[in-house]
Amino acid sequence: MSIETQQLHRALITKDRSLPCARYRSMNEILPTLYLGDCKAILDPITLLSSGVTHVLSLRQSPVYMRHPVNVKHGQIFIDDTEDTWLLDSLNDAMNFIERAMGSGGTVLVHCQEGRSRSASVVIAFLMKHFQVSFEQAWGYVRRRRPVAGPNPGFVDQLKIWERRGYW
């Protein structure tokens, strides 16, 4: 395990407050290769390029198109942000997209409309699975990195189910 991974794992488990708490931005760094943001983030090619983003995963009700000629791979998962929307059906596709991107040395931005619920839920799920931590640990870490993050109650319940199932 690298030093960075050890520090992150410690932060996830111990609620380490030494990590910087970001104010509201269109995107916030969760890991060096994982960002969480809103729909404005994909409209800013300078921020995408300066952050090293190579892949964007959009979680929206309808298609979203990147307007700038940025060489970024774009995945989309169509999902509503309602308490009765079944998130678990989308997690496998989301995990595959993120893992493939990172596996190829890429940096991923996961976004939804406001960067609060859908995208935060997927990022929390990724941290849970990748670092084998609880929902509460992953959510606490994400909240410290992006304070506006907050999965809707239905997504929270489903992420807890996903944790009990062993991340499948």
Q: State the maximum Cα–Cα separation within the chain, in Å, rounded to a whole number.
A: 42
- Confidence grade of residue 2 (pLDDT, cut at 50, 70, 90): very low
- Total number of domains in the chain: 1
Domain assignment present for 9: no
Please give the average per-residue pLDDT across 34-58, as a whole number. Answer: 92
- Confidence grade of residue 8 (pLDDT, cut at 50, 70, 90): low
pLDDT at 18: 42
pLDDT at 127: 98
pLDDT at 47: 87
Range of the domain at 88: 28-165
CB burial class (10 A; 0-12, 13-18, 19+) of residue 46?
exposed
Lookup result for tokens 């939804």: 112
Lookup result for tokens 């859908």: 118
* 3-state SS, residue 158: helix
Domain assignment present for 11: no
pLDDT in tens, 51-77: 999 999 999 988 888 776 578 999 999
Instruction: Return the H-helix or E-strand segment holding 162.
Output: helix 153-164
Q: What is the DSSP string of 25-43?
A: -SEEEEETTEEEE-GGGGG
Q: Count CA atoms within 13 Å of residue 125 on its CB side.
A: 33
Catalytic residue, chosen from 11, 48, 108, 112, is: 112
Instruction: Enter the tokens of residue 76.
Output: 């989309």
Domain assignment present for 3: no
Known catalytic residue at 112: yes
Domain assignment present for 15: no
CB count in 10 Å sphere of residue 125: 26
* CATH number reported for the structural domain that contains residue 157 in this entry: 3.90.190.10
